Amino acid sequence: MRIATWNVNSIVPRLPRVLGFLGETAPDVLCLQELKTTTEKFPLAEVEALGYEVAAYGLGRWNGVGIVSRVGLSDVVRGLPEEPQFDGAAEARAIGATCGGVRVWSVYVPNGREPDNPHYAYKLAWLSSLHSLVASEISAGPFAVLGDFNVAPTDADVWDIALFAESTHVTPPEREALARLRKLGLSDVFPRPLKYDHPFTYWDYRAGNFPNNKGMRIDLVYGNAAFSDAVKDSYVDRNMRKGKGPSDHAPIVVDLDL
């Protein structure tokens, strides 16, 4: 089975790239983040024409998640149980489904903005709700949480840690939230680098960041033992970050022998 995850940074303008990725890389399951559209406006017909089922969850412009699968799509859940809201509004940041016997969750963790911003407290509360969800489902066979976590697990996961000293994504509370997830029994499926020493997944659009590999590893695949033990290969598809009009993230592709 091949499972991938990708923050597409708006599904509508990125649709040709997504369709090309589905056709060329042929994942059995693709988790999507940052759709920037509503559930109703997801380009369903185009994806289904390639033989995939779709479960989407979008409430507006700034978030949205989805799962597309050609190996079945059942037990779909939109949102986390008892997840917090921001400014009194729900956000579409998590969707779960069972695909080919694997339980997957596509997640788009809040950015946090700055450590003194209310969005940072929201981020930590949201990660706490994710912890509760994982604790309730981790024992139900192969299980993985995939997506844009907006947290770099270690200093090696950013291109220059000195530049992030006062920033979100690397603060101790955020990293401790990831460590708490791992303590439940999740492993970080670390992608192998195909060109550079570090398999970054995100590069800011500023000129030179991508070709100079000034990036971050904030897109993650966390799997339980039944999932992680089946992993045969994993990599960051840097080609999807190249060319005209890409997302600022690249997909992670994971091959499993289940």
Question: Is 237 assigned a catalytic role?
Answer: no
Task: State the pLDDT at residue 18.
Answer: 98
- Is 7 annotated as a binding-site member? yes
157 is in an annotated binding site: no
Asked whether residue 150 is marked as a ligand-binding residue, the answer is yes
Phi and psi, residue 184, nearest 5°:
-70, -20
Say whether pLDDT at 140 is over 90: no
Mean pLDDT of the chain: 95
Domain of 196, in residue numbers: 2-256
- Active-site option among 120, 157, 202, 249: 249
* pTM, rounded to two decimals: 0.96
34 is in an annotated binding site: yes
Query: Is the pLDDT reported for residue 193 higher than 80?
Result: no
Q: Is 169 a catalytic residue?
A: no
Above 70 in pLDDT, residue 195?
no
Catalytic pick from 148, 157, 219, 237?
148
Question: For 56-79, how does the pLDDT look when each residue is reduced to its tens digit (9 = 90+)?
Answer: 999 977 899 999 999 999 999 999
E-assigned strand segments in the chain: 2-7, 29-33, 53-57, 65-69, 74-78, 94-99, 102-108, 143-148, 187-188, 202-203, 215-216, 219-223, 231-236, 252-256
Reported as a single tens digit per residue, the pLDDT across 91-123 is 999 999 999 999 999 999 999 999 999 999 999
| Counted domains in the chain | 1
- Residue 168 in this model has a pLDDT that exceeds 90: yes
Nearest partner of 235 among 247, 219, 224, judged by Cα: 219
Any idea what the CATH number is for the domain that residue 35 is in?
A: 3.60.10.10
Q: Is 198 a catalytic residue?
A: no
